[in-house]
Each structure stands twice: as structure tokens, then as C-alpha cells.
Homo-oligomer: A and B are copies of this chain.
Amino acid sequence: MVGMDPDEAVSTIDDMVCFALYAASRAVTSAYRPLLQALNLTYPQYLVMVVLWQRGSITVKDLGDHLQLDYGTLTPLLKRLEAAGLVTRRRRADDERSVEVGLTDEGRELRESTRHIPIAIGDAMGMPEAELSRLRDSLRRLTNNVSTHGSGA
């Protein structure tokens, strides 16, 4: 390892962890796409719905903290979900700065149509539960490390 040919120090693109991550993320999103398209959802929209199905309602700020997405991404995305009749958006009475996002009946009902998705995806991933668990832990640690090290977000 030490003293490699300088031309190989960076190795090929296929040896870069960052590329493996970038490619895997897009590949998994692609696997979701046909399943979600049937429900007229994109992958980020699905993530928002998952949070809402769990929590019932949440401010845009808290949603951004959970998904690590900013307002520039969430505001238009939530407007599209609202236009699709799945969520509601209204200012909180006790703090007019905050917008509370909630589910419509249609949004709540949509959950039933997604029950098969985690199974289908887990199947497509084709990896034992233990390895997926290890992978998830590594990814979480990686995310924590680079985001605290980086710009101190």
C-alpha cells in the first residue's frame, strides 16, 4: 500500500469509496422509482411521507433536521405534495414563523399502498440482514464523521 506508483495513488474511480457511495445511492433510488411511480411519488417525496406516517405532523424545520434537507429543497417538494392532495401546510398559531405539515385523509390512506415496498427493496438488495445492518451502521458513522469534521454543521 505504502509507496504506490503516484499515478495509482488515487486509484481508479472504482476504488474510490465516495464513488461507490454515490453510485449505490443512485442505484437504490432507481430501484424505488418504478414502485413509487405507481403511487405518483418521487423518492424524496416518499421519505417525507414516511416521516409523516410516523409522526403525524411536523414543522418544515424539524422535517429538514430529520432528512438533512434545506428549505430550498423542501418548500417546493411540499407544495407538490400539497397540490397532489397528500399533505396540508399551515402556519402554527403559537408561532407564526413555523409551518406545520400534516397528512390529508388521502395521504394517510396512501400508506397501505406502500406496505410491499420495503420487502421488494430488501429483496432487490439481496444481502443478508446482518450485512445490511452493518452497512447501515457504517453509513451512519460515516455521515456523522464527515458532517461534524467538515463545516461544523
List, in ascending order, chain B residues with CB within 8 A of A9's CB. 115, 118
Range class of the A interface residue count: 35 or more
Judged by a CB distance under 8 angstroms, whether A20 is at the interface is: yes
Interface contact B24-A142, CB-CB below 8 Å: yes
Task: Give the residues from 104 to 153 in chain A that come closer than 8 angstroms, CB to CB, to chain B.
Answer: 114-115, 118, 121, 123-127, 129, 131-132, 134-136, 138-143, 145-147, 149-151, 153
Interface contact A16-B50, CB-CB below 8 Å: yes
List, in ascending order, chain B residues with CB within 8 A of A126's CB. 145-146, 149
A54 and B18 in contact, given A34-B151, A126-B149, A142-B125 (Cβ under 8 angstroms): no
Q: Give the interface of A toward B (CB within 8 A).
A: 1, 9-10, 12-32, 34, 43, 47, 50-51, 53-54, 66-68, 114-115, 118, 121, 123-127, 129, 131-132, 134-136, 138-143, 145-147, 149-151, 153
